[in-house]
Copies of this chain bind each other. A is one copy, B any other.
Amino acid sequence: MEYKISDKMINMKPSAIREIFKSLGTPGAISFAAGNPAPESFPVADMQRISAEIFANQAVQALQYSVTEGYPRLREQVKARLREKFGIGSENDDLIIVTGGQQGIELSCKVLCNEGDTVIAENPSFIGALNAFRSLGAKIKGVTLQDDGIDIKELEQTLRENPDAKLLYVIPTFQNPAGLTTSLEKRKEIYRLAQKYDVVILEDNPYGELRFAGEDLPTIKKLDTDGRVLYCGSFSKVLSAGMRIGFLLGPKELIQKVVVAKQVEDVHTNIFFQILCSRYMDECDMDAHVEEIRALYRKKAGFMLECLDKYMPECVSYTRPEGGLFLWCTLPDSISLMDFVRRAGENLVFVVPGTAFNCDESAGSQSFRLNYSMPSMEEIEKGIRILGDLVREMA
């Protein structure tokens, strides 16, 4: 038969990143393409011990259906941690456990946006979020991301021109893909404009705990006086990405709707690993573990920057992230990005072209994203050297 695909899904393609993923099997391949946390960052021994304890003491609870909102103790622990670490979460807020931050993003849009409504996002932005918005039939308007965060003037103009904008999606801290952090001044401006034009902000903060340089800044959620900010976080970068556990903190009224929306998507998140996370937070030193990951990424990011300084011709510029997993390189106009990415791949070095992160899918880019959490130090040096040589060849 001939299939009639829904309008919202007909033009959706698999994420370029996930597709690159599949071509990584080749021996000797060096991937700077993934968004994977370092394998060393998983506290395997602790998780193994706790897993055995759960099977011994509460197996039935951990294998049976559970409530959509999430494991009650874990919800309390995450709320407490967000209060202590970030000073966020009020009496009017509630928190739901979701199947990874990705689900928190998708559900936020589902609850707030009709098909055809506008979501405003930094340009470039996280492809998983942009595709989630597209899959719900939302229109995406991108606003230029500058070194200190979104272009405020352009943001106001975009808000003015799009009265159907329901959601403003931002990653203010160690942005994906650019690795940039929004200044405090701009965080305040973003909140002020959201108030003025009456939109909800979705603050995505999967990397917030992974600062390895500079000083912490208040989240936008911390500035939230009128219950306008949904705050999305995740355990993917601190405990395990594969277990798929994230959380969404926000105004009770919105979280209640998110609960209903989640109920029909997957009933609840894997309860065994919710209990595991909860016991980990009870029994282990989460702060010490996060500190280890920070030290690891400080070393890896620092080394990738050293290698870039050493091997990359001056015509290539790049960001200097203070945390997170990514940095962002920009080629001179004389080099075709797509040719560069293709030839890098032929040399078994995989990077994601900036076009993948464009709000407007037809727009071009001169940038590409590099991940430093996943590759080894040897791979970082070798890969960056190959990319540097390639630029010299193509320039």
Residues of A within 8 A of B (CB): 1, 3-9, 12-15, 18, 21-22, 34-37, 39, 42, 44, 47-48, 51-52, 55-56, 59-68, 99-100, 102-103, 106, 110-115, 117, 128, 131-132, 134-135, 137, 166, 198, 200, 226-228, 236, 240-244, 251, 253-254, 257, 259-261, 263-273
Given the contacts A3-B251, A242-B271, A254-B3, A99 and B63 also touching, CB distance less than 8 Å = no
List the 4 shortest-distance A-B pairs measured between CB atoms, nearest first: A48-B55, A63-B240, A132-B264, A242-B271
For A103, the closest partner residue in chain B by CB is: B266
Q: What are 14 residue pairs bridging A and B, where the CB atoms are less than 8 Å apart in the complex?
A: A3-B200, A3-B251, A4-B112, A5-B111, A6-B166, A9-B111, A14-B260, A18-B67, A36-B65, A99-B244, A99-B265, A102-B267, A135-B264, A243-B271
A39 proximity list for chain B (CB < 8 A): 60, 64
* Nearest-Cβ distance from residue A46 to partner chain B, whole angstroms: 10
A56 proximity list for chain B (CB < 8 A): 48
Alpha-carbon distance A80/B263, docked complex (angstroms): 30
What 19 new A-B contacts, CB under 8 Å, besides A42-B63, A47-B63?
A: A3-B251, A6-B112, A12-B264, A37-B64, A42-B60, A42-B64, A51-B51, A51-B55, A65-B236, A65-B241, A99-B244, A102-B266, A106-B265, A110-B135, A132-B265, A135-B261, A135-B264, A244-B266, A244-B269
